[in-house]
Copies of this chain bind each other. A is one copy, B any other.
Amino acid sequence: MQDRLTETDQRLPMYQRVKDALTQRLAEGEWSRAEPLPSETVLAAEYGVAIGTVRKALEGLVAEGLLERQQGRGTFLRRPSFGNALFRFFRLSDGSGAIVPPRARILSRTIGQDEERARTLGLNPAAPLLVLFRERSIQDRPALVEEIALDAARFQPLSTLPLDAFGDLLYPLYEEVCGLLVVRAAETIRFSQATPPIAAALNIPTGTATAVIDRIAYGIDARPLEWRRSHGEAARFNYTIDLR
């Protein structure tokens, strides 16, 4: 057990090496979300370090959003909460005020090449990509259209899954069907105008102001998993951030 750390750089602080080792085990799916990690005491024994060192490693992983700790219960793999949070950007309380879960529908699925997006995903420029077009609507009114690019190799099961089996959220699907866990995402917001296809999909006039959000979602191993571009009507856009 103890030599699990020997491969990592000896110059790094102990807690960092423990953290790296745990990250790798998390990435390999060693623990589900229902099942707690070994306790601090056990981990300390496994790695041959003091409990405080394990604690520091765990706290780091909590800070990075990989783990959740709960007193009396244990330490768990965290479920990222931004999965459907794109809708955080848009006003949801359309009329009734009740928060309705947005419905998703896959408009098309193709496999092809795209040099630029493959590069963005950290792949060989010629790598085949699985490309989805997706509509998300609230109360049967289209609110967003999304273009999604995935590594066709890693997401192979999705290329045969029936389109109506995709459900409303993709990230749980990635996890269940492909064993890939989204941990972090970076988004870029900018402003544009609806091109004819976008306008048609959103049911708004061509040229209407839109907000465009590009997202790159990263897996537990910090490599890009998904590229996504979402279009929505600018008038419905509303976003809040905290600065320090």
**Chain B CB within 8 A of A237 CB:** yes
Scan A162-205; emit 1 where CB is below 8 A from any B CB, else 0: 00000000000000000000011111111100000000000000
In the complex, the answer to whether B244 meets A80 with C-beta atoms within 8 Å is yes
If A209-B209, A234-B209 touch, whether A243 touches B189 (CB-CB below 8 Å) is no
In the complex, the answer to whether A239 meets B184 with C-beta atoms within 8 Å is no
- In the complex this chain forms, how many copies of it are found? 2
Report A244 CB to chain B, min CB distance, Å.
4
In the complex, the answer to whether A189 meets B187 with C-beta atoms within 8 Å is no
In the complex, the answer to whether A191 meets B244 with C-beta atoms within 8 Å is no
**Chain B CB within 8 A of A126 CB:** no
**Chain B CB within 8 A of A238 CB:** yes
In the complex, the answer to whether A186 meets B234 with C-beta atoms within 8 Å is no
In the complex, the answer to whether A190 meets B239 with C-beta atoms within 8 Å is yes
If A209-B209, A209-B234, A234-B209 touch, whether A243 touches B188 (CB-CB below 8 Å) is no
In the complex, the answer to whether B234 meets A184 with C-beta atoms within 8 Å is no
In the complex, the answer to whether B187 meets A240 with C-beta atoms within 8 Å is yes
Seed contacts A187-B242, A241-B241; 16 additional CB < 8 Å A-B pairs: A64-B244, A65-B244, A82-B244, A85-B243, A185-B243, A186-B242, A187-B240, A188-B238, A189-B237, A190-B237, A191-B209, A191-B211, A191-B234, A209-B209, A209-B234, A234-B234
Can you identify 21 A-B contacts, CB atoms within 8 angstroms? A64-B244, A183-B244, A184-B242, A184-B244, A186-B242, A186-B243, A187-B242, A188-B238, A188-B240, A188-B241, A189-B237, A189-B238, A189-B239, A190-B237, A190-B238, A191-B209, A191-B211, A191-B234, A191-B237, A209-B234, A241-B241
